[in-house]
């Protein structure tokens, strides 16, 4: 490969002196915090998205993501941040970070269409000296097999003319203890010069960088992080069922085990997995492993346990209603919290929505209460024409049962317990169980 050390040195210098322009493609839960971080430390930032509504909102200083305050968007706009749907402007950016979705298709196989389409959309506008970083969670080999060939279709050589890296996002929405800048960032380059360029891209914005030997290593790192959580949550979900049958409080057990100062990390059971990573990432690895003739039995078993949790919650509801002489059909059921985790408005892969789908199919009359989701959003696979109801004593008393699916801090749990005739607690909020509380 022709030596272009002069080009690489120039690229590194532009990021070091912050004269580089940062491009962020995909302005959702990952892209927005990243764009804001760069704007806040003095880079000029261009944000790219296919949604004109989102772009107009951001350019007006408004964030559609609840935990991102409008004042941060307003400050970024004053500092020069601009969002656009015009992908020809990719040519203006020196560093381009791809933060697009990587969902599963209907067969629970990796759907790389957003990554592929984005690469093909930006390719005609690439130029020498740009650094392209994929941040979307994916299987090992994606950068090398899918991204690099599309970048090189321009005639530019990766590692010589342009630079490609994989650096997995580690955002945790509404986590006040860790921010974009303080979470260590793994970076893997397609070539050694690519790694150098990638470290320069992130060097000013992220406090701690973790360079690894290849893009495949970085891709596998992200999967390990989330599969580790999925497997341990599967373990504690299975133990929850056993403990419940034995009359033991699994939450008390986990709390007690967590006092051990070494060798144990507490994970808590719930109604199923939610979010954009944990329910999806294991399938990326199991799918890729088949290419190598391997069957990831341990990972897939954990997935089976976690996917069965909504069914377990429903079984507890059915049993509790039956004890009261009622059927699910025509019963009034209120879902408490429909976001995938507490104190956020993120609905991706929320187990509460799966519970609602099952209950609707069983003929229940559904409502929900969620201070973070005032109107049920449009989702690819779920349609509910519902708005959040006000959580009052009268609303609660009118229900046949409420299911505590997401334990938002804003809920008045004492009031709920006092007025709800039946609570199916899937989050372990009510440790001292009353007569109207059923642990699920």
Domain ranges of the chain: 5-213, 308-439
Average pLDDT over residues 253-271: 96
The superfamily in CATH containing domain 5-213 is NAD(P)-binding Rossmann-like Domain (3.40.50.720)
Query: Does the pLDDT at position 1 exceed 60?
Result: no
Beta strand 44-48 with 82-84 is: parallel
The superfamily in CATH containing domain 308-439 is NAD(P)-binding Rossmann-like Domain (3.40.50.720)
CA 424 vs. chain centroid, Å, equals 26
Indicate the pLDDT class of residue 3, thresholds 50, 70 and 90.
low
Predicted pLDDT at 269: 96
Domain 5-213 and domain 308-439, same fold? Reply is: yes
Predicted pLDDT at 281: 83
Up-side HSE of residue 324: CA atoms within 13 Å toward CB?
Answer: 17
Query: Does the pLDDT at position 432 exceed 80?
Result: no
Q: Is 189 exposed, middle or buried (0-12, 13-18, 19+ CB in 10 A)?
A: buried
Average pLDDT over residues 385-414: 97
Predicted pLDDT at 2: 58
* Token pair of 256 as six digits: 């007690």
DSSP, collapsed to helix, strand or coil, labels residue 69 as coil
Predicted pLDDT at 382: 85
Report the 10 Å Cβ neighbour count for 174.
Answer: 16
What does the DSSP 8-state code read for residue 157? P
Predicted pLDDT at 440: 93
Report the 10 Å Cβ neighbour count for 160.
Answer: 17
77 is catalytic: no
Q: Point out the catalytic residue in the list 99, 119, 194, 277.
A: 277
Beta strand 163-166 with 185-189 is: antiparallel
Average pLDDT over residues 416-439: 93
**Which residue do the tokens 């509460």 mark?**
352
Query: Does the pLDDT at position 169 exceed 90?
Result: yes
Indicate the pLDDT class of residue 431, thresholds 50, 70 and 90.
confident
| Range of lowest pLDDT (111-115, 214-218, 340-344, 381-385) | 381-385
* Confidence (pTM): 0.91
Beta-carbon contacts of 135 under 8 Å, excluding residues fewer than 6 positions away, are 30, 34, 97, 98, 99, 166, 167, 168, 169
* Token pair of 182 as six digits: 């303080």
Average pLDDT over residues 329-343: 96
Please provide the average confidence, as pLDDT, over all residues in the chain: 94
């Amino acid at each position: 490969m022709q030596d272009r050390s002069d080009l690489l040195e120039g690229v590194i210098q532009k990021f070091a002196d912050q004269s580089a322009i940062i491009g962020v493609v995909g302005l959702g839960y990952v892209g927005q915090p990243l764009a804001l971080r760069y704007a806040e430390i003095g880079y000029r930032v261009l944000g790219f998205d296919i949604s004109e509504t989102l772009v107009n909102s951001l350019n007006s200083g408004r964030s559609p993501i609840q935990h991102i305050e409008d004042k941060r968007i307003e400050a970024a706009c004053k500092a020069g941040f601009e969002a656009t749907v015009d992908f020809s402007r990719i040519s203006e950016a020196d560093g381009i970070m791809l933060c697009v979705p990587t969902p599963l298709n209907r067969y629970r196989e990796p759907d790389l269409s957003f990554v592929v389409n984005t690469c093909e959309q930006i390719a005609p506008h690439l130029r020498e000296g740009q650094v392209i970083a994929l941040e979307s969670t994916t299987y090992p080999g994606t950068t090398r097999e899918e991204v690099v060939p599309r970048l090189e279709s321009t005639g530019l050589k990766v590692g010589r003319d342009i630079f490609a890296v994989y650096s997995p996002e580690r955002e945790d929405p509404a986590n006040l203890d860790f921010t974009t800048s303080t979470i260590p960032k793994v970076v893997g380059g397609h070539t050694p010069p690519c790694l150098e360029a990638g470290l320069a891209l992130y060097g000013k914005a992220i406090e701690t960088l973790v360079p690894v030997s290849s893009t495949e290593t970085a891709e596998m790192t992200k999967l390990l992080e989330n599969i580790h959580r999925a497997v341990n949550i599967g373990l504690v979900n299975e133990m929850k069922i056993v403990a419940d049958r034995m009359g033991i409080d699994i939450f008390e057990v986990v709390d007690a085990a967590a006092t051990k100062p070494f060798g144990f990390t507490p994970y808590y059971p719930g109604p199923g997995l939610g979010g954009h990573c944990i329910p999806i990432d294991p399938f990326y690895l199991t799918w890729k492993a088949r290419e190598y003739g391997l069957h990831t039995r341990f990972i897939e078993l954990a997935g089976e346990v976690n996917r069965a949790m909504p069914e377990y919650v429903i079984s507890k509801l059915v049993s509790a209603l039956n004890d009261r002489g009622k059927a699910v059909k025509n019963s009034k059921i209120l879902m408490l919290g429909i976001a995938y985790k507490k104190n956020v408005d993120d609905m991706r892969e929320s187990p509460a929505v799966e519970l609602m789908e099952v209950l609707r199919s069983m003929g229940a009359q559904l409502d929900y209460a969620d201070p973070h989701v005032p109107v049920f959003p449009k989702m690819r696979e779920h349609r509910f024409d519902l708005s959040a109801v006000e959580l009052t004593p009268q609303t609660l008393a009118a229900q046949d049962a409420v299911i505590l699916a997401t334990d938002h801090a804003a809920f008045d749990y004492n009031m709920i317990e006092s007025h709800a005739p039946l609570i199916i607690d899937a989050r372990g909020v009510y440790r001292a169980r009353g007569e109207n509380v059923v642990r699920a």
